[in-house]
Every structure is written in C-alpha cells, then in structure tokens.
Structure 1
Amino acid sequence: MESFPTELGILTCLGILAASLWIPYIIGVNTSEAGSPADIDSQDFSRPANPALQRPWVHRAYRAHLNLLEQFVPFAFLVLLVDRVDGFTALTYWTAIAFFWLRVAHAIGYITGWARLPARPIIFTLGWVCCLIMAYAVFAAAL
C-alpha cells in the first residue's frame, strides 16, 4: 500500500480549517445585541449582516475566513499538481507544514487582533511564498 503524503494530510487539515473558520463569525453575528447597528440588516434574515457594522473581532473573523480562502485555493491546487507530477520532496514537506501553521497563526492573530502591522501582512506574505515554492516544485518535477 502506498503511503499517504504529509502534504495531502496538511491539505486535508487546511480544508477542515477553511470549512470551519466561518464559525467565529457566525457566533459573533448571533451574539450581537438586538437593535444594534450590526443587527439591523440581519433581524429578518432578508440579507446578511454587514460585516463592517459588526464588533471589531467579528469583522476580523469574517476577513480571516476570506483571507484563508484567498490562499487555500491556490495552495491546494498547487499541492494537487505536485502530487500529480509525483514531485513531493523535503522542500514540499516543510513548505506544507509551514503554510499550515502560518494560516493558523494568521487566523488566530487576525480574529484576536494580536497580529497587527507588520505581523499580519508578513504572515500572509510568507503564505504567498509557500505558494510560490509549491509552484516551483511543480515545474521542477515536470522538467
């Protein structure tokens, strides 16, 4: 039986994170005080609440989820391409692990407000670098 590559396991964990990061936002939206500006748009469920009118941590939770999706989709695509060309190496192993923990740190830091300038943009940029490394691995394996 062929072993399950760590990169695909990390991708699975990232998928779970992406599929679950909506939870803090929904908790925040549903615990706002009735009649507050944040609640006006969503009282009758006719349209979603405006994230900009939510409490700061709730708005940050919304943005953290979007930021994860912005990097998860390209990263997942690249990991699957590396798998397709049989290009997993020590570099892709450590890149996948680094990407996962960068995304966890980004989500926690963003939602709590702990990761401010310049930490949050640096974490996001390092995630982008992980995507570039995975793209390099695709081309390196395909040549």
Structure 2
Amino acid sequence: MSIELKMLVWSIVLGLAHILLAATLATQQRGLKWNAGARDGVPPPLTGVAARLDRANRNFLETFAFFAVAILALLVTQKTDAHTALGAQLYFWSRLVYLPVYASGIAYVRSLVWAVSIAGLVMLVAGLF
C-alpha cells in the first residue's frame, strides 16, 4: 500500500475521531434528549471545547474532500512520487495535530498547523500536473 493511500485511510480514521469527539461534547452540552430527538428548531449554541471541536470538525470536512480526490487521482494516474508522499504525510500529520491544538484554543499555532495541511494539499495537486 502506498504512503498516499495509507494517509488517506488514516485520515478517514481521523475524520471519524473528529465526528465522535464533536458529537460527544455537543451531547454533553445540549443533552441526550436533544441529540436523540428530531432536532427541530434552533439548538442552543455550543461553548468552550465543544464549540471548538465542532468548528475543527467542520474545518476538517472542508479540506478532506480535496485531499481524498487528490489522492485517488494520483493513484489512478500513477503519478505518486516522493513529493506526493510528503504532501500526504504533511496533510495527515498536521490535521492530527490540528485537533488538539484547536480544542485547546491555541490561536496562532492553530493557523500555522492549518497552513501546513494546505501546503500538503498543494503538493498533492501539483503532483497531478
């Protein structure tokens, strides 16, 4: 299995972790009745770590589709190389670091880590040209 494909699989696992953590903390704040119900109406706003994990989850989902498509396109076209492997690793590891950094509320570091993940995506897309 290529590094790129391994990073895609691990990113799926990371995405599931994002969902589970965000949902768990949202349920703790809003209650099981809200979570199990129809969720009609406007939910109470999340605060603190629960709100940050919800935003981190949405941010992950915004970039994951680009990552997955880039990896699959590289594999289909057989254009993987050392640069695309590095790009995939930069994306995954920075997204892994992003979750606790965002949950902790470390503002500038969070943005730096996000920028590294975007650099990894750019490296993947560049490999397709």
Which TM-score band (shorter chain)? 0.7 to 0.9
C-alpha distance in 2 between matches for 1:86 and 1:63: 35
The CA deviation string for residues 8-46 of structure 1, in whole angstroms up to 9 with x for no partner, is 0110000111123111222212223xxxxx55x927723
**What is the number of equivalent residue pairs in this alignment?**
127
Instruction: Say what the alpha-carbon RMSD is for the aligned residues.
Output: 2.1
One-letter identity of the residue aligned with 1:86: Q
* Identity percentage of aligned residues: 20
Matches within 5 A, 1:52-91: 53-91=45-83
Tell me the residue number matched to 2:28: 31
**1:19 to 2:16 alignment:** yes
C-alpha distance in 2 between matches for 1:44 and 1:135: 40
C-alpha distance in 2 between matches for 1:102 and 1:7: 15
Structure with greater proportional helix content: 2
C-alpha distance in 2 between matches for 1:44 and 1:10: 33
C-alpha distance in 1 between matches for 2:43 and 2:101: 22
Tell me the residue number matched to 1:35: none
The CA deviation string for residues 90-143 of structure 1, in whole angstroms up to 9 with x for no partner, is 111111111111001111111122x31x2212221221121111111011xxxx
TM-score by length of 2: 0.86
**1:134 to 2:128 alignment:** no
Distance apart, 1:50 and its partner CA: 3.5
C-alpha distance in 1 between matches for 2:125 and 2:53: 29
Contact persistence 2:27–2:35 (CA under 8 A): no
One-letter identity of the residue aligned with 1:128: I
Range 16-25 or range 70-79, more displaced: 16-25
TM-aligned CA distance change 1:121 to 1:43, over 3 Å: closer
TM-score by length of 1: 0.79
Unaligned runs of 5+ in 1: 33-37
C-alpha distance in 2 between matches for 1:110 and 1:27: 16
